[in-house]
A and B are shown apart, each in its own frame.
Chain A
Amino acid sequence: MRLRRCGTDAVLVEVDSLGEVEAVRAAVHAAALPEVVELVPAARTVLIGARPGGLAAVRRVLDTVDLSHRVESESREVTIPVVYDGPDLELVAETAGVGPDEVVRLHTGATYSVAFCGFAPGFAYLVGLPEALQQPRLDSPRTKVPAGSVGVAGEYTAAYPRATPGGWRLIGRTDAPLFDPRRDPAALLQPGDRVRFEAAA
């Protein structure tokens, strides 16, 4: 674990894997420090923003983090219904060397966890994707990916909360309410949540 200064009131904790990111995030979250304003996991880092003067308390918690500790107890499980008719379903099947039905079976058979959010409000990067579905982005990104699209890219799968440009291979779509700023909680998926996809009729 390496601590990198990020201005007067934040620290960027750098670790070696997504599992260690989750260990740091979960430990700081569990400590429920009133000094912590932002807790932002990413691919290899956790950004911790504090109230002025609050970083000392954050460092005391970081000193106690066990990076090998897998935190499972606090996680919620969310199921997302998906209609598997995406424009890249055939491409994903072909790349994986299987049929489209097998892509659906693989995608719905795995349990995912939210590694981090970013890119757009409520856009959750899910890890746990079966290896056959870990595929490159499209050569040329779409200028507009419809809201609700479900795609894969690299080690991640995700559902798009709103229409944005995007280069992920799209295998389906969902009507799940992924983000609504007038709802509490606004985002359906939060870091640490467990997620399953199920095929909708």
Chain B
Amino acid sequence: MTTDIGADGRTGTAARTVTVLRTGPQALVQDLGRPGHAHLGVPPSGALDQPSLRLANRLVGNPEHAAGLEVLLGGLHLRADTACTVAVTGPCTPTLVNGVHRDSPVHLRPGDELVLGTPTGGLRTYVAVSGGIATDPELGSRATDLLSGIGPAPLRPHDVLPLGTPTGVPTGADVLVPVQVPAELDLPLLLGPRDDWFDDPAAQLRKGRWTVSDRSNRVGLRLEGTALDRCEHRELPSEGLVTGAVQVPKDGLPVIFLADHPTTGGYPVIGVVPPAALPLLGQARPGTAVRFRPRG
């Protein structure tokens, strides 16, 4: 345990940190993102499954907006350098502390090691640590934005992550309901703003069948399957995009924009998936079937 300069910049107090030993395929610092900067070309970013991050934070006594870790397909291995409480949320993910299976939330002593196995369904597991991950904020957020390279780089082995000072008391919850990802996503979709660029858009969307492509990422969920037909073939000048927008490029295969989406785009958006349906999109594995339930 170190006794030099603390994460809060003060000397003489022990720095609160956790050390990354392994990361799995991808582990990122995420909070609720940095909305409000799209006019500067800055994506909203933030945790894809925000209810899971908020829950993890509440469980360890953090405010819901504290930064935690978003772990893609498990494999994260952390060592506590200080006493802290951790909570693991999202899909059902085997969690070991010093090799013993533990349910969340769990108290760690200095030197204790936390290992996440592979989630049994879904993609992204969230880890909150009491005090929150206290890397330097950029534009008011600690979120990693993979599209524009704002925020902390993806975690690597040997990274030492500073923690903030705990402010609240961990809750006593001992049973968590994991996020369940259905085999088929049945997504509500509000038509617009460019549904009039498509032949009978509602009927096309209702009849179409798609699966989630393995080329999906935090920018967007790419879909494979039915190509949507356009009736309007003009070039579209770039225009602003919201998270959940279903953009249809020239090949007709829809892309559902997620948190790291560009702030403007040059292909028509046929409809928008409402916010309540977005957390599940961040958990949809490649191959998951997708249908749309359009309404005008």
Task: Check if B139 sits within 8 Å of A6, measured CB to CB.
Answer: no
Task: Check if A4 sits within 8 Å of B275, measured CB to CB.
Answer: no
Kindly identify which residue among A8, A41, A43 contacts B39, using a CB–CB cutoff of 8 Å: A41
**Which B residues are in CB contact (< 8 Å) with A42?**
237-240, 264
How many contacting A-B pairs (Cβ < 8 A)?
Answer: 118
* Segment with Cβ contacts to A, from B159-167, B190-198, B218-226: B190-198
B150 to chain A, nearest CB (A): 5
List A residues 165-185 near B (Cβ within 8 Å). Answer: 179, 181-182, 185
A45 at the interface (CB under 8 A from B): yes
A191 at the interface (CB under 8 A from B): yes
The distance in angstroms between the C-alpha atoms of A190 and B37, with both chains bound, is 10
The distance in angstroms between the C-alpha atoms of A122 and B30, with both chains bound, is 22
Task: Check if B194 sits within 8 Å of A37, measured CB to CB.
Answer: no
B14 at the interface (CB under 8 A from A): no
Chain B contact residue count (CB 8 A cutoff): 36
**Which B residues are in CB contact (< 8 Å) with A182?**
136, 138
The distance in angstroms between the C-alpha atoms of A39 and B264, with both chains bound, is 12
B36 at the interface (CB under 8 A from A): yes
Nearest A residue to B149, CB-CB: A162
A199 at the interface (CB under 8 A from B): no
Task: Check if B239 sits within 8 Å of A44, measured CB to CB.
Answer: yes
Kindly identify which residue among B150, B193, B262 contacts A4, using a CB–CB cutoff of 8 Å: B193
The distance in angstroms between the C-alpha atoms of A37 and B263, with both chains bound, is 13
Task: Check if A47 sits within 8 Å of B41, measured CB to CB.
Answer: no
**Which A residues are in CB contact (< 8 Å) with B269?**
6
Task: Check if A9 sits within 8 Å of B42, measured CB to CB.
Answer: no
The distance in angstroms between the C-alpha atoms of A7 and B275, with both chains bound, is 9
List B residues 37-91 near A (Cβ within 8 Å). Answer: 37-42
A187 at the interface (CB under 8 A from B): yes
Task: Check if A12 sits within 8 Å of B40, measured CB to CB.
Answer: no
A133 at the interface (CB under 8 A from B): no
Interface residues of A (CB under 8 A from B): 4-10, 12, 37-47, 49, 116-123, 162, 179, 181-182, 185-187, 190-191
Sample 16 A-B pairs with CB under 8 A, ordered by A number.
A4-B193, A5-B190, A5-B193, A6-B193, A9-B242, A10-B242, A38-B35, A38-B240, A38-B242, A40-B39, A40-B240, A118-B238, A118-B262, A186-B138, A187-B40, A190-B40
